[in-house]
Amino acid sequence: MTAQPQPSDRVCFAGFELDLRTLELRRQGRKVRIEGQPLEILAHLVKAPGELVSREELIARLWPNSHVDFNHSLNAAVRRLRHALHDTSRHPKFIETLPRRGYRFIAPRNDAAPSQPASEPPGIRVLAVLPLTHDGTDPDTEYLCDGITDGIINNLARSPGLRVISRESTFRYKTKRPDAGAICRKLNAGAVLCGRLSLRGQRLALSAELVDANGWQLWGDRYQMPAGDAPSLESGVARQIAESLHLHLTWQRAASSAHRGKRDFTAYRHYLKGLYLRHKIDEDSLAASIVCFERALQRDPAFASASAGLADACCLLAFFDLQPPAHLLARASEAAAKALSLDPRLPAAHAALGSVETLYRRNFSAAAQHYLKALALNPSFAEVRRMYAAVLSATGHPAEAMREIHLAQDLDPLSLIVGVDAAWHLYMAHEFQLSAEQSLRVLDIEPEFPAAHHGLGLAYQQSGRFDEAIAEFQHVLKTVPHSGVMASLANALAQCGRSGEAAEIAGELLHGSPTRYVPPYWQAIVHAGLGAHEDALAALNRSLAASDVWLLWLARDPRFLCLHPDPRFQQIARNAGLPLS
């Protein structure tokens, strides 16, 4: 009969148990695959917690009566030990290196509580999926990595028992990655999924692992497959992770068309490149993304996700004031309807139709229904919460809008766009001090983010801080010559008595340029600031006729308060479907 280890023979720390008598290491009751010199080093360190153990002392213990330099062997043994403990030299949890001197065991011991075998996985309910890395040998691999990462996020997000951090926050770690614990703390996540993808000719290889906040691997696997099977990789990884966490994916029984059958790989690559370009959020990339989505649909007309992507990109491009938006929004309407007919359970299709109803048809009730349906299918869809918040804010429900934007911030805590939207909705609710504070929080993350400087200027202006507001608008215009920022600058100049400068900007906006379209909404902003109410009302009527996307904010924008008593303004608001009270 084997003797049980006595308390003095056992050292417990952070879920580990080291038997000093047999030199066996267990984690939560399961034996860790490590033996020999690394365990001898651990045993020596844990006997003197918090104290320096010199390199000379360890070498003498491991290689007694030897005159050979064993420094290299000691380094290798410590590396193996750290690997077994999921520890790092840069951010140590257990073994701290004192350069050129030795090592120190820094974890608290809990020898009184023996660990028990884990029968259930840890209660991970918030997960961050980091962008897949690649070896850089194929120029197309980057957008494949990003697109497959997006697919895994979207698949996992359809589990009602799991909250998945959105891509904008996790993609901030694309080039520089701290350890898993630091990422989990920053994103309030319980675990992170990371992996590496390689493309060799027509074959894909992926290695992936799920690591918790303490650095322990909860799951890991390797995949090799023909490149044409890549679409199944997204759902396969998501399914295995869900199973490892004892979760259920809602799409498993009613899989969307995006995951049924084998997808044309060329169409799939066009689609992923479209997603990659869409997320750059600049006018050239959005225009290029539309071409990619169209190419995907030419190869595969039944590709619902590509049709939804096309609709989304068209709606986004309408905000860049390159051309009258009616044509783009009509294309978006057609593509969104097609996506929904191909796959009624595709969250992105409902999201795209919500945007069409908001910006094109101004049927805000129908928009809300589509957004809520998308959220029912994908509760972690932060982008939809952001868009739904805009509808609530524009139609006079500020408290409900802030609730949604706060939920979006929980899902995407490092998102600059969500943070700016929070400031925008506070501005539209006339909470100008809070709006300024929120813009400053965004600038703490990204000091040169133009939209945050613009939002800060708007809040300063309504607080009577005109010089600071004008400085913010001028700062943005140095790098982003957007007509909306020009209108904000002119309105602020007019309000503080600098009408001549404001009128000069009004002339620029009125005549526009050969290469850019100036929405009448921005012209109305300038006219309102100058007190030219007739010109402002005429511009707003043109805005209504042109399907101006910015007209959404007509009833809430404090710069139009001077027009509210005019019955003609009230009629324009009614025609736009926007309540004034």
Q: What is the mean pLDDT of residues 565-581?
A: 94
Instruction: Return the half-sphere exposure (C-beta side, CA atoms, 13 A cut-off) of residue 207.
Output: 3
Q: In whole angstroms, give the CA distance from residue 53 to residue 123.
A: 37
**Which comes out higher in pLDDT, residue 248 or 471?**
471
Given the DSSP bridges, would you call strands 126-129 and 95-98 parallel, antiparallel or unpaired? unpaired
Closest to 404 measured CA to CA, from 417, 391, 416: 391
Q: What does the pLDDT average to over 20-46?
A: 80
Task: Count the alpha carbons within 13 Å of 173 in the hemisphere toward its beta carbon.
Answer: 26
d(CA 179, CA 91): 7
d(CA 216, CA 230): 28
Cβ atoms 469, 457 nearer than 8 A: yes
Enumerate residues 6+ apart whose C-beta is below 8 A from 355: 311, 312, 315, 332, 336, 367, 387
- Separation between Cα atoms, residue 488 and residue 525, nearest integer Å: 7
pLDDT for residue 184 is more than 80: yes
Task: State residue 392's pLDDT score.
Answer: 97
pLDDT at 120: 42
* Distance separating alpha carbons of residues 266 and 224, to the nearest angstrom: 19
Q: Structure tokens of 425?
A: 């909705």
The identity of residue 356, as a single letter, is: V
Please check the confidence at residue 546 and state whether its pLDDT lies above 60.
Answer: yes
Residue with more model confidence, 106 or 33? 106
**Which one, of 216, 218, 217, 198, lies nearest residue 207 by Cα?**
198
Stronger pLDDT, 95 or 512, i.e. the higher one: 95
Confidence of residue 258 (pLDDT cuts 50, 70, 90): very low
pLDDT at 112 over 90: no
Distance CA 70, CA 76 (A): 10
pLDDT at 428: 97
Name which of 398, 338, 326 is nearest 362 in CA terms: 326
* 179 to 13, 82, 87, 130, 213: CA distances (angstroms): 20, 14, 10, 12, 9
What does the CA dihedral 149, 152, 158, 159 come to, rounded to 10 degrees? Answer: -120
The domain segmentation of the chain, as residue ranges, is 7-105, 126-251
Query: Tokens at residue 123, please?
Result: 């209660």
Q: What is the pLDDT of residue 314?
A: 96
Contact (Cβ atoms closer than 8 angstroms) between residue 545 and residue 352: no
CA 54 to chain centre: 45
- Tell me the pLDDT of the chain averaged across its residues: 87
Collapsing DSSP to helix, strand or coil, 305 comes out as helix
pLDDT score, position 212: 84
Strand 191-200 to strand 126-129: parallel, antiparallel, or no bridges (unpaired)?
Answer: parallel
pLDDT band at 118 (very low <50, low <70, confident <90, very high): very low
Enumerate the β-bridge partners of residue 210: 193, 219
Tell me the percentage of the chain whose pLDDT exceeds 90: 54
Is the domain spanning 126-251 CATH 3.40.50.10070? The answer is yes
What per-residue confidence (pLDDT) applies to 123?
A: 66
What's the one-letter identity of residue 116? Q
Q: Can you tell me the mean pLDDT for 109-137?
A: 69
Read off φ and ψ for residue 194, nearest 5 degrees.
-135, 155
Q: For 199, which DSSP code? A: E
Phi, psi for residue 33 in degrees, rounded to 5: -80, 85
Q: Which residues contact 181 (CB under 8 A, 6 or more apart)?
A: 91, 93, 213, 214, 215
Residue 427 has pLDDT above 80, yes or no: yes
CA dist., res. 285 & res. 519, Å (int): 21
Q: Which helix (H) or strand (E) holds 17?
A: strand 16-19
- The topology under which CATH files domain 7-105 is Arc Repressor Mutant, subunit A (1.10.10)
Q: Does the structure show a pLDDT above 50 at 107?
A: yes
Nearest to 365 by CA among 391, 336, 329, 327: 391
The predicted pLDDT at position 121 comes to: 46
Q: What average pLDDT score do residues 215-230 get?
A: 81
Dihedrals phi, psi of 126, to nearest 5 degrees:
-130, 125
